[in-house]
C-alpha cells in the first residue's frame, strides 16, 4: 500500500460450503480479468435457505487493485 | 441468485416525472453496455429544485449483474 | 401515538408497478392477521431486472401496531 | 453548485397519494418563506396506516438553499 | 423472489465450532415452527471467551420467509 | 447466553415519567405473552411534546428471548 | 401527525441531574421562540466529567414542529 | 460547553483551494447573521471536477451556537 | 477542549437503578486508574431482563481524557 | 447535473503531502481513462505511519461521471 | 454479565486459514496481557490477495473484559 | 500488514493550522509511549469557533500498532 492509485470494485461470490469459499470464488472469478488485486473487505454476508438448511452463502466484497502496471 | 459471481455497479438516473422513472432511466442506459443485470438497490434519492418545484429526481442505485456468460 | 405499547414487524412487499404499490401490498397482506397497524417506515427499496427493465420492486418495511385491544 | 454558501433545512412533507407528492408538498410550503432552494435529499420515508391501507406518506427531506442573494 | 409478501424475523444462533454452524443452528431451530424460509442476512457476529479461547460464536441473523402458503 | 437459539422482537414502550419507565412498560406488556426474555437493547428514544413540555417518551427496544423451553 | 408540513431543528440541552432533564431544558428554551413543537428524537447523549463524576449531561435532539398556524 | 442550550445548523461551504478554506467560508458567511457560534463538525466532503482537476471543494458542516445572549 | 491530545477508551457500566447510574458507575471505576477524564459519549444502552423486569442496565460509553499532565 | 445518467466509481489516491493532494492524485490518474468526471465524495481518510510520522495519506473517493458522450 | 464494569479494546487478528482462526489469533495474543476477557464482537472482516487467492484474513474485533479482579 | 496482531487506539489531536497537522499532533504525542504504529483512520473532524473564525481543528483518529516486538 505505497503511493499507487487503487480502484475498488464490488463483487458477490457464492458457495455451498463456507463464507471463506464464497470470498475465494468471487476473487478467483475476478482474477480472470482484473490484475493486481491487493485486498478485500466483506460488506455483507447473506445466503439462501432450502428446507431449513443453508443452500448457499452469498458474500458481498469490495476488492481493491492497483491501476498502475507493475 | 444461484451460485454465479455477480459484479455490482453504482449508477445515478434522472427523471422529471418520478422516482420509478429515474430508476428505469439508469437501468435502460446501463443495458446498452451491461448484459445480465439481475437486481438493483436504491442507495440515495435526491433531486433538484427550481422555483419551489421539483425540477428532476436523481436516484443512486447499486445494480448487480452476472459475470458469467449464459 | 399515546401511551400504548407497540410491536414492530418487518415485511417485504412486491409490485410490478410502483414503490407505493409494493408498500400497499405488504400492508394489505399483513392486515389479514395483524390488527391495529398504525405506521410504517421504509427500510430498503430494491427490485429485480429482466431484459434491461424493472421486473418488480421489493420494498422492506417496518410496521408498528398496538399490542392492546381497543 | 458553484462557490456559494448553502444552508440545509430538514422538512417533513405529507401526501395521501404518493412519495413524490409528499416531497413536493414540503418544498412548496417551504417556498413561501425560503428563496433560492436548490436541491433536496430524502432522509426517511414513513407513513400512517388506517384499516390496512396507507392513510398518508410522510417523507423527511433535507433541502439546500443559497444564503447569498442573486 | 417473485411477487410474494415476505416477513423477516431476527434470530441469534450459537455454536462452539464455527460462524457457519451458528447460522445453521438458528435456521434449523426456526424451521420447527416457520415454513418457507427463503434467505438470511448476517447482522452481527459476536461470541464469548473463556480462558483466552473462543467458547462459542453468537451470530444474529435476519431470516425472510413467504407469508403465503404454496 | 450459552448455546440456545434466541429470537429478537422489536417493541415501543411509552411513559410520561422517564426513559427507564418506558423501557419497563414495553417489557412488562411483552411479558404477558413472551416467556424467557433475556436482554434488551435501546434502538431509538423519541417523545411527544405538548405546550413546550415532554408529554411522553417513546423508546424503541429490541428484546431477545430463548426459543427453547427450560 | 396528519397532513401538515413539519420543520425539524436540532438542539443540545444540558442538565446536571438527568438525561430527561437535559431534553426538557432544550425543549423549554426552544418553546420561547418556536410554537407548535410536536415530537423529539434523541440523536446523541454526551456529557462532561469533573473529578471522576458526571458534571452535566448534553443531549442532542431533533425537534419537529408544524409550519402551519393552527 | 457549560449548561447553555445550543442550536445546530447545517451549512455547505465551498473553496477552490482547500477543505479547511471551505469550512472557513461557511463559518464566515454564517457569522454575518448567527452570533455565538461555538463548534463545528464535518458531515460530508465532496467536490466538483473539471477537466480531470478539482474545481472546488464542498464541505457540509454542522455548526453549534448558544441560544442565550451572553 | 483546547489544544491537548486526548485518548478515548470504551467502557461498559452497569446499574440496577438507572441509565445515569450505569454511566456514573463506569466513570467512577475508571477514575481509579485514569486521571483527567473530560467527557463521555453514550454508544449503546442495553440491559438484562429477569421475570419480565429490568434486572440491570448496561451502558457502553466512550470516555475522553487528556494525555498531558497538568 | 441535468438529466444525464451517471456512473460512480470508487478510487483510493495517495499523497505524502496532504488530503487534498491524495484526492487530486486519484482524479488525475482516473482522468487517463475516464472522460466527463463531474464530482467526487470522500468516503474514507486513512494513512500510514512510519517512526511516529505520517508517511502518506490514503483517501477513498466516489467519483461520478456521465455515461453519455457530449 | 452481572454488574461489573467492563473495558473494551479493539484488536486485529490475522490468519491464512479462516475468519474463525483470525479471531482466535487476536484473542490468544491479547490473553498474554489481558485477564478476564468475556466477549468479542466482529467489527470488520478484510483480507489481502496475492495472485488471485486469499493470502490472509484480517478480522477487527472489539473485546470486553472485566476491570475488577475476581 | 502481514500476520501480526494489531491493537487499535482512539485519539483526538488538535491544531490551529490544518486537519493534517491535527492528525500529526495526535500521532506524535502517542509515539512517546506507543511503538510500532502502522496506520490511522480519520473517524471524525470537528473544531471550535471563536469570533466567526476556526479557532482549532479536532480530529479523532483510530491508530493501529503491532502488539509483537520486532
Instruction: For J9-32, write each residue's pLDDT tens digit.
Output: 999 999 999 999 999 999 999 999
Per-residue 3-state assignment (H helix, E strand, C coil) for F5-70: CEEEEEEEEEECCCHHHHHHHHHHHHCCCCCCEEEEEEEEEEEEEECCEEEEEEEEEEEEEECCCC
Per-residue 3-state assignment (H helix, E strand, C coil) for F43-58: EEEEEEEECCEEEEEE
Mean pLDDT of C40-61: 98
B10 and J5 in contact by Cβ < 8 A? no
Whether E and H touch (3+ CB pairs < 8 Å), yes or no:
no
Torsion of CA C38, C39, C44, C47, to 10 degrees: 70
Pairs of CB atoms within 8 A across A/E:
37
Radius of gyration, alpha carbons of chain F: 14
A3 and J9 in contact by Cβ < 8 A? no
Residue range I8-54, pLDDT digits in tens:
999 999 999 999 999 999 999 999 999 999 999 999 999 999 999 99
A17: Cβ contacts below 8 Å, ≥ 6 apart: none
Mean pLDDT of chain E, nearest integer: 93
J6: Cβ contacts below 8 Å, ≥ 6 apart: B11, B12, J38, J64, J65, J66, J67
Residue range A15-61, pLDDT digits in tens:
999 999 999 999 999 999 999 999 999 999 999 999 999 999 999 99
Residue range E16-52, pLDDT digits in tens:
999 999 999 999 999 999 999 999 999 999 999 999 9
Mean pLDDT of F47-51: 97
K56 and L3 in contact by Cβ < 8 A? yes
| Chain L environment of K26 (Cβ under 8 Å) | 5
pLDDT band at K70 (very low <50, low <70, confident <90, very high): very low
C-alpha cell at J20: 487534498
pLDDT band at J4 (very low <50, low <70, confident <90, very high): confident
Query: Of B29, L6, J12, C1, which Cα lies nearest the Cα of K63?
Result: L6
Residue range K7-48, pLDDT digits in tens:
999 999 999 999 999 999 999 999 999 999 999 999 999 999
Q: What percent of chain G has pLDDT over 70?
A: 91
Q: Kindly report the nearest CA distance between residue I39 and chain K, in angstroms.
A: 16
Distance CA L68, CA L8 (A): 13
Is 80 exceeded by the pLDDT of residue H2? Answer: no
Specify the DSSP element, H or E, that contains J60.
strand J53-66
Distance CA A25, CA A15 (A): 7
User: Measured between CB atoms, which of E19, E40, E42 is closest to A49?
Assistant: E40
Residue range G5-44, pLDDT digits in tens:
999 999 999 999 999 999 999 999 999 999 999 999 999 9
Instruction: Using the structure block, give the residue that is written with the C-alpha cell 467560508.
Output: H25
Mean pLDDT of G53-64: 98
Distance CA H53, CA H36 (A): 37
C2, C3, C61, C64: which to substitute to probe chain F, counting the most F Cβ within 10 Å? C3
User: Measured between CB atoms, which of B18, B45, B51 is closest to D42?
Assistant: B45
Residue range D4-58, pLDDT digits in tens:
899 999 999 999 999 999 999 999 999 999 999 999 999 999 999 999 999 999 9
Mean pLDDT of E54-62: 98
B33: Cβ contacts below 8 Å, ≥ 6 apart: none
Q: C16 φ, ψ to 5°?
A: -85, -10
Q: Kindly report the nearest CA distance between residue A32 and chain J, in angstroms.
A: 20
Instruction: Using the structure block, give the residue that is written with the C-alpha cell 447473506.
Output: A46
Q: Between vectors from CA K42 to CA K41 and to CA K43, what angle results, nearest 5°?
A: 110
Query: Of F47, C65, F38, I41, which Cα lies nearest the Cα of L44?
Result: I41
Q: Between vectors from CA F39 to CA F34 and to CA F43, what angle results, nearest 5°?
A: 100
Instruction: Give the side-chain half-sphere CA count within 13 A for E15.
Output: 18
B14 and J8 in contact by Cβ < 8 A? no
| pLDDT score at G3 | 61
| pLDDT score at J3 | 61
- What pTM value is reported for the model? 0.95
**CA distances for L34 relative to G4, I5, K61, angstroms:** 57, 14, 20
User: Measured between CB atoms, which of B46, B51, B54 is closest to D24?
Assistant: B54
Is 80 exceeded by the pLDDT of residue L5? Answer: yes
Is 80 exceeded by the pLDDT of residue D3? Answer: no
**CA distances for F28 relative to B63, D24, F37, I57, L55, angstroms:** 44, 42, 10, 16, 50
User: Measured between CB atoms, which of A18, A46, A51 is closest to E39?
Assistant: A46
Amino acid at each position: 500500500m505505497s503511493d499507487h492509485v487503487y480502484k475498488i470494485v464490488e463483487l458477490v461470490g457464492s458457495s455451498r460450503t463456507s463464507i471463506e469459499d464464497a470470498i475465494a470464488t468471487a476473487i478467483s472469478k475476478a482474477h480472470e480479468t482484473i490484475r493486481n488485486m491487493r485486498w478485500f473487505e466483506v460488506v455483507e454476508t447473506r445466503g439462501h435457505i432450502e428446507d431449513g438448511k443453508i443452500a448457499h452463502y452469498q458474500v458481498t466484497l469490495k476488492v481493491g487493485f492497483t491501476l498502475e502496471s507493475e
